[in-house]
Structure 1
Amino acid sequence: MFIRTAKVTDAQELVAIYRPYVQQNTTSFEYEVPSVAEFERRIKQTLIAYPYLVVEEDGRILGYAYAHPYGERAAYQWAAEVSVYVSQAAQKKGVGKALYLAIEELLKKQHVVTVTACVTGKNQNSIAFHQHMGYAIVANFQKIGFKDGQWLDTYWLQKRLSEDDKPQPFLPFSELSQ
């Protein structure tokens, strides 16, 4: 497996990985699968400030992860939300773990102190995965989203990457030396 920064040209493969998460279950709260053009826009926009990574094997993308701001206010600059999606064929092969370890290392270099993840309540596998990766459940929002004819809970999980009491200012991903 090889981890690298996502490129706009990866959008079609990433949409294919994401599609089942939208259409076949409640992992994503999106109702419609985004277009390739929308994914291209998301990749470009994310990479300005945060990492967007893919895992490749034999020229095929097996999964991807990205980070984005936890909140808009300046005081949140040391907190990021992370998301990971792994192709159905690559489940349980360490792809998600590899992506999370890589993205957490990059976020540390950006001076991010806390990472969060929002997981649908029905996705117990993801909750267990995050806990295995050192995340703790810190909140449960009950019946917060409506999809597939049902109200869904979300769980917020959190992990500290550093105990820095006086962190340096956030460093955008585009300013990191690759």
Structure 2
Amino acid sequence: MEVRVASIQDAEAILAIYAPYVEKTNITFEYDVPSLAQMQRRIMTTLEKYPYLVLIDQGKLVGYAYAGSFASRQAYDWDCELSIYVDSHTHGRSYGQILYQHLIAILKMMNIQNVYACITHPNEKSERFHELQGFSYVGCFHACGYKFNQWHDMVWMEKHIGNSNMVLPVIPFSKIPSIQIESTLQNEYVQSKKIMI
């Protein structure tokens, strides 16, 4: 098993995981599956400022997770919204926990303070998963997303990962030396092996 930084070469495998969520579920509010070129652009745009990670198991990409901007005002620079998707046939194998563990470790290196998850409600699996990762419930927006001819609620969950008493400038992901990223991923991988047992 390996967790590494995504590249545009991963876009096709990422799309294969994401497409069923778009076409068959309300887990994402996106209506249309992005094109390969669109997904490649999303990966590269994300990596300019935030981490985008993929999980490989037995040579196959089985999940991915990335961070993005929480809000546009400068005061929100220390906050991130997280997104995570795993192959729907691999639920229950701790892939999500492993991806989040690696992602949050890198966000801490960047001096991020808070992470947020936006979840279609009800989604008991995702809400429970985030609770187990230390997220707490913030609130619910009622009937705010319209997909598959019906309205859906959306909840926000949050987790504090930083040191509020020592606020340092946020370091864009692209500015962190690759050797430091690889070292962090390797250290988190050692911890991940304990999770899988």
TM more than 0.5:
yes
Partner of 2:172: 172
2:136 and 2:52 map into 1 onto residues whose CA distance is 23
- 1:127-138 residue pairs with structure 2 within 5 A? 127-138=127-138
Identity, % of aligned positions: 39
2:68 and 2:139 map into 1 onto residues whose CA distance is 19
**2:11 matched to 1:8?**
no
Partner of 1:105: 105
What is the TM-score when the length of structure 1 is the normalising length?
Answer: 0.98
Q: Structure 2: which 5+ runs fail to align?
A: 179-197
Partner of 1:39: 39
Partner of 2:183: none
Q: What is the one-letter code of the residue matched to 1:128?
A: R
1:19 and 1:90 map into 2 onto residues whose CA distance is 15
Matched residue count: 178
Contact persistence 1:50–1:173 (CA under 8 A): yes
2:66 and 2:163 map into 1 onto residues whose CA distance is 23
Which aligned segments of 4 or more residues in structure 1 are displaced greater than 6 angstroms? none
Q: 1:169, CA displacement in angstroms?
A: 0.7
Q: 1:24, CA displacement in angstroms?
A: 1.0
Q: Structure 1: which 5+ runs fail to align?
A: none
Secondary structure of 2:33's partner? coil
- 1:94-127 CA-to-partner distances (Å, cap 9, x unmatched) read 1000000100000000000000000000311101
2:39 and 2:91 map into 1 onto residues whose CA distance is 22
Q: CA RMSD in A?
A: 0.8
- 1:36-77 CA-to-partner distances (Å, cap 9, x unmatched) read 111000000000000000000122100000000101111001
Contact persistence 1:51–1:66 (CA under 8 A): yes
Q: What is the one-letter code of the residue matched to 2:104?
A: E
More helix by share: 2
